[in-house]
Amino acid sequence: MPTVISASVAPRTGAEPRSPGPIAQAAQDKGTEAGGGNPSGIYSAIISRNFPIIGVKEKTFEQLHKKCLEKKVLFVDPEFPPDETSLFYSQKFPIQFVWKRPPEICENPRFIIGGANRTDICQGDLGDCWFLAAIACLTLNKRLLFRVIPHDQSFTENYAGIFHFQFWRYGDWVDVVIDDCLPTYNNQLVFTKSNHRNEFWSALLEKAYAKLHGSYEALKGGNTTEAMEDFTGGVTEFFEIKDAPRDMYKIMKKAIERGSLMGCSIDDGTNMTYGTSPSGLKMGELIERMVRNMDNSRLRDSDLIPEGCSDDRPTRTIVPVQFETRMACGLVKGHAYSVTGLEEALYKGEKVKLVRLRNPWGQVEWNGSWSDSWKDWSYVDKDEKARLQHQVTEDGEFWMSYDDFIYHFTKLEICNLTADALESDKLQTWTVSVNEGRWVRGCSAGGCRNFPDTFWTNPQYRLKLLEEDDDPDDSEVICSFLVALMQKNRRKDRKLGANLFTIGFAIYEVPKEMHGNKQHLQKDFFLYNASKARSRTYINMREVSERFRLPPSEYVIVPSTYEPHQEGEFILRVFSEKRNLSEEVENTISVDRPVKKKKNKPIIFVSDRANSNKELGVDQETEEGKDNTSPDKQAKSPQLEPGNTDQESEEQRQFRNIFRQIAGDDMEICADELKNVLNRVVNKHKDLKTQGFTLESCRSMIALMDTDGSGRLNLQEFHHLWKKIKTWQKIFKHYDTDQSGTINSYEMRNAVKDAGFHLNNQLYDIITMRYADKYMNIDFDSFICCFVRLEGMFRAFNAFDKDGDGIIKLNVLEWLQLTMYA
């Protein structure tokens, strides 16, 4: 039986892209499947909610910029307009912000003054300290910074009120274009601002990130690693400091040397999302408190900077409305800090390990040992002070000893630009494969191993570890790899009520006899086989990642939410030191054909009956022992002739009598008559507990069996249809274990396979959405209707696929005729 596992709740810091570094140079394999690894084509048109933000109306920044300059107008972003719809979604409130462009806020506005650095970031009242802490880390790596913030932007040369920034989004870099209108109150920026009143890169970067997620409010509360990954495309590791390895300082030191981004926080013990307001405080109340704070500050400031201030006056910093808990030592619980440096200093003849941190508020600092105003700085050598850049300023940045750091802080987040282990001195070339998937309620949202009846239905990804590591010091035949599972678009969908799911994954070794078959592993496999590896816990973070070392073999990775029936999209990345293959299982689409192809018989479209000028070949398939003559001749075959009733079974006699009564002398029936025939027969099968077939189902059945385009069925066609229904009925009864007249949608995958259809996960998802009821059950009528549609679509495709290459080409008339008469 599966091991019972527990879920963790990740405190989120809210007080708190493909990488330009080595990750970009690694071999990348975007996982695909037949029909599309990514939601694409008709699947995308039906259910995908991903809309790329690449420019406005798909125009590039350069095109828009040029157009504004030619027309001599300032750009206004229609997708993220300067009004309240871009601010908050939870409620409206009476306080009005004024949207102003930087030239309207101060004189001589500048995009960047003296280079972008961590002191340019001062938090407003949005509760996005997690995002700002990541920006502070980003400024330490100029190469990454220039990737996110293109520096050829200005308020003077070719100024058109348009700016752009670039972020990594689930495997791709996107260019986000914005106008430079910013929300103000009393001529002060409401949200992020720079220490220099006339510097605006950080405020505009925050606006671009807000657009990426739909609104400013969507940025309230989060984890620092989320933004770090969006800045780099890197992979994150999450450490509980109390359980950290003994060489944690060495790990942090290597992270700094390799350009990794680091953040840390202190749990507040409330299990509340960090940086967000208590549950009883609504957004409107938050803003009102914020504005009162700003008003009070403005009244206290006797030297208030008026509109049109000079460019060298510093901004007056206002500490955000407090929901985090400030400790006596000056640190703040439930708040995100940036780790900006690690050094060792000589103090009284001994080396002391130090950590430099920054509070994104731009003030409120640690007041213990090694703080700015620590009295024992006098015992530190002057050159040592200079090396540590010690200065007594209220800028939010401070030193503290490593011992104090691990005593007070509880979480450490590291975003690595490569998958190299920080414990190792070696740098490797890593390959990465990326697979996109989704959990769909009733089909592929099976939950964790605690739910054995549905766990097996989760998306499954085969991982082939082909080559062992190149490590002469390691005698084990081992493959090192890292798995990172990231859920998509949860922040953007907050306005729809979405929150982060609690997610994780398990890894199972595939038995040798199943290597290479790419079949979806069934329920029994997971009941009787233990996982070889798994994520340490299920946790409500955007990404869960873990390092593993396993022997070369074939494995299956099963990503899941903790609870079943939770719908969402995700990407699964696998980094390995040596070559690996990672792909979703059941990625082929086909149908079993029990007999060889016979001579093609033409299909005539209904609209072409008069002249038969558009005939298409179709594979005319028959079963073993079936007469291969035409339908007209079959209708006169001995077993169905009145004079040969001795050769008929009781069921055949019953069919003939019912059919003759309803069809009349022409012995053909329409959809209404088919409904009467079928329901009279089905009603005799009390074990099906069905209310019968609907008229729409019967129309689909006629479209399936109607080979001459008459819109009617003769006796032989009807008999052949009933044989199919009987076969499908047996499958239905097999999975209707409780004899309720319905089957669970999770079992539909196996039922479809038993009927000879092999589909990919996207099609199983569509079947569930199309045919299951709100309780995720499928009744007999819907079940048969689904199989009729599958049979008909496969037959039609094969008719058009004359070359047998799996590709057909239709004009609009053929497409509409095919889809309308199905």
Kindly list the catalytic residues: 129, 335, 359
Measured from the Cβ of residue 820, the count of other Cβ atoms closer than 10 Å reads 10
DSSP class per residue in 576-621 = ESS-EEEEESS---EE---S-----EEEE-GGGTTT---EEEE---
Q: Distance between CA 609 and CA 588 in Å, rounded? A: 36
Question: Between the CA of residue 806 and those of 620, 802, 803, what are the distances in Å?
Answer: 18, 9, 8
Integer Cα distance of 559 and 572 in angstroms = 8
| DSSP symbols for 275-311 | TS--TT--HHHHHHHHHHHHHHHHHH-TTPPPTT--T
Token reading at 488: 């998509």
Q: Which two tokens stand for residue 388?
A: 């540590």
Dist. CA 409–CA 266, nearest whole Å: 5
Determine how β-strand 235-240 pairs with β-strand 261-265.
unpaired
CB 777 within 8 A of CB 742: yes
CB-CB contact of 5 with 450 (8 Å): yes
Q: What is the C-alpha separation between 152 and 163, in angstroms, rounded?
A: 10
Long-range contacts of 324-328, Cβ-Cβ distance < 8 Å, separation of 24 or more: 324/15, 324/268, 324/274, 324/275, 325/268, 326/364, 327/266, 327/408
Phi, psi of 126 (to 5 degrees): -85, -20
The phi and psi torsions of 808 (rounded to 5 degrees) equal -125, 155
Are 176 and 576 contacting, i.e. CB atoms less than 8 angstroms apart? no
Residue with the two structure tokens 């819109």: 711
Nearest residue to 788 via CA among 728, 701, 727, 675: 701
Query: In Å, how far from its chain's centre is CA 748?
Result: 24
Helix 695-705 to helix 780-800 angle (10° resolution) is: 30
Helix axes 715-735, 695-705, angle to 10 degrees: 120
Question: Pairing mode, if any, of strands 503-509 and 553-561?
Answer: antiparallel
Both tokens of 669, joined, read: 């029936």
> Whole-angstrom Cα distance, residue 232 to residue 55?
20
Which DSSP state fits 309? -
End-to-end CA distance of the chain: 45
Query: Are 17 and 169 a contacting pair, CB within 8 Å?
Result: yes
CB 571 within 8 A of CB 170: yes
Give the largest CA-CA distance in the chain: 118
| Best CA proximity match to 460, nearest among 531, 518, 543 | 518
Phi first, then psi, for residue 746 (nearest 5°) are -65, -25
Q: How many residues in the chain?
A: 822
Residue 80 near residue 177 (C-beta atoms within 8 A): no
Q: What is the DSSP letter of 501?
A: -
Tokens 């071999």, residue? 27
Question: Going by C-beta distance under 8 Å and a sequence separation of 6 or more, which residues neighbour residue 818?
Answer: 796, 810
Instruction: Report how far residue 710's alpha carbon sits from residue 695's, in angstroms, rounded to the nearest whole number.
Output: 18
